[in-house]
Amino acid sequence: MSLPLDGVLVADFSRVLAGPLAAATLADLGAEVIKVERPGVGDDTRHWGPPWTETPAGSSSSYFECANRSKKSVELDLADPADLAVARELAARCDVLIENFRAGSLDRHGLGYDAVAARNPGVVYASITGFGSGGGADLAGYDFLVQAVGGLMSITGRPDEPTKAGVALVDVLTSKDAVVGILAALRARDRHAEGRGQRVEVNLLSSLLGSLANQASAYLTTGAAPVAMGNQHPSIAPYETLRAKDGHVAVCCGNDGQFARLVSAVGLPGLAADPRFVTNGDRVAHREDLVGLLENALAADTVDTWVERLAGSGLPVGKVGSVADGFELATRLGLEPTVDVGHGRARQVRSPLTFSATPVTTYTAPPGLGEHNDDVRTMLSIPQDNQENPR
């Protein structure tokens, strides 16, 4: 069965996480992805361990593995004329080029957008930067840095300690924005009379700000920057973690009906009519009082008992678990969260996308450094004029 992006050739000139993860997503969807890496060194993340996963060629970092499955790897030194010729030929053949070099770096090698598009007008050229190609072009972009300067740390964790997210969340969000932009540009190319592509630009700071949703809207509405509130929601209560006898319960009460069921289930039905808690606005204004009353009641029993009891009342609640618990829950719910990529490698997270007609069914192991050097060179040595479909 064909996949949505069968026949699409992607040249992945990116490294670390945002770009490689975007390219891996396109590979999941059927694109052929050629990953260009520095000879003898490869992607920075090949060396970011532990933990390591064992491969036929030796150890590979699990960090690298998470963003580079289903690709081919070719080593190219852009300072070497012969290798540069291969890189330029790949750029001339591909449908999509993904890069996250510093501004101007690829231009010096004849691999900037203008040079590539002159030879390959149908190319969708995706550039990923930290702070855009204007005033922030010379600034180095790292997820941790953007979480700090973009405000995410200021609303994460406790008020007295700015805290990063537990994963490189900005890189992941930017990766998804890049994929959306690439797919939209491919669709626009399909509709263009001459099949012309275009440049797609995403940057970490803009992707972060775009993801702040209600927090960004609150700031733009009031002029007051949101602050860290731990696990509490700034606009809803109770919508947070509440302490029970042996741990924490995650409780989401999004309306008055849910609140009435909650207080009834914990043995405090009168709180639903208490003037401090009648409406959501009242509950937010008197959150400290409300949390104290609820936690006093929850202290009488265990997390597991409360989760069963509250869920039985139709409430959205759950135990605060580990990553392992998350995978166990997804497995129990039949979501099949992991896939086998073969070659004795560690299992990987299944694509979160499901399709009724073109399901993602093929996953292959991340490549060894330069594993496909000969294959890629052979493919690119075939004159385009002799190919029925050069892409």
* 231-250 residues labelled b (16+ CB within 10 A) or e (exposed): ebbeebbbbbbbebeeebbb
Give the CA radius of gyration of the chain. 25
* Distance of alpha carbon 349 from alpha carbon 60, whole angstroms: 17
SS3 content of the chain, % helix, strand, coil (to 5): 40, 15, 45
* Distance of alpha carbon 137 from alpha carbon 130, whole angstroms: 8
> Considering only CA atoms, which of 95, 143, 48, 54 is closest in space to residue 366?
54
* 349-382 residues labelled b (16+ CB within 10 A) or e (exposed): ebbeeeeeeeebeebebbbbbbbbbeebbebbee
The size of the chain, in residues, is 391
> Considering only CA atoms, which of 49, 46, 48 is closest in space to residue 57?
46
* Partners of 36 in beta bridges: 74
Instruction: State whether residue 101 is helix, strand or coil.
Output: coil
Q: Which of 77, 171, 282, 301 is catalytic?
A: 171
* 171 is known as an active-site residue: yes
The answer to whether 203 touches 142, Cβ cutoff 8 Å, is no
Both tokens of 65, joined, read: 């593995």
DSSP string computed for 248-309: EEEEE--SHHHHHHHHHHTT-GGGGG-TTTSSHHHHHHTHHHHHHHHHHHHTTS-HHHHHHH
Give the N- to C-terminal CA distance of the chain in Å, as an integer: 20
Active site residues: 171
